């Protein structure tokens, strides 16, 4: 693996670690220079991203959403010369909280873009595509429609 592929893989894993620990400030820092959201509704800027996660994801007394984001099937395309990269991954969100046994609640794909600044890679875009929706009643502050 190249240094770029390790850095980019670590960015993807870092997102899962931050969101599962309830660190929305960390998520906003990680994605603050990126456009984030589903197709047609991308948000930009650290404050908008922090507001998105804070207003939609339920936290429990331990400060976490009681989730584990599992990211897999990484397809990575890096252009070292241009300092750009794209990644497509699958994601599954598992949740176990009081009143809800361990179960998958969401599954989908991330379509990410990255740029290198100096020796450091960062997100420039994170699009999420939701493919499967289970019981999100204990995860989302405002549950997804349908």
Q: For residue 138, what pLDDT band results from cuts at 50, 70 and 90?
A: very high
Q: For residue 146, what pLDDT band results from cuts at 50, 70 and 90?
A: very low
pLDDT in tens, 38-87: 867 899 999 999 999 999 999 999 999 999 999 999 999 999 999 999 99
Domains of the chain: which residue ranges? 3-133
Nearest to 102 by CA among 58, 134, 59, 129: 134
Domain 3-133 listed as CATH 3.10.450.50? yes
pLDDT in tens, 73-92: 999 999 999 999 999 999 99
């Amino acid at each position: 693996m190249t240094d770029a592929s390790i850095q980019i893989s670590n960015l993807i894993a870092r997102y899962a670690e931050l969101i599962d620990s309830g660190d929305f400030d960390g998520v906003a820092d990680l994605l603050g220079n990126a456009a984030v959201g589903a197709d047609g509704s991308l948000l930009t800027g650290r404050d908008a991203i922090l507001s998105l996660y804070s207003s939609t994801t339920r936290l429990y007394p331990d400060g976490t959403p009681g989730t584990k984001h599992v990211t897999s099937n990484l397809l990575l395309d890096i252009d070292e010369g241009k300092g750009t990269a794209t990644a497509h991954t699958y994601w599954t969100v598992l949740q176990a909280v009081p009143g809800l046994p361990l179960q998958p609640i969401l599954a989908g794909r991330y379509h990410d873009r990255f740029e290198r600044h100096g020796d450091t890679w960062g997100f420039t875009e994170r699009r999420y595509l939701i493919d499967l929706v289970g019981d999100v009643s204990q995860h989302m502050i405002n549950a997804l429609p349908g």
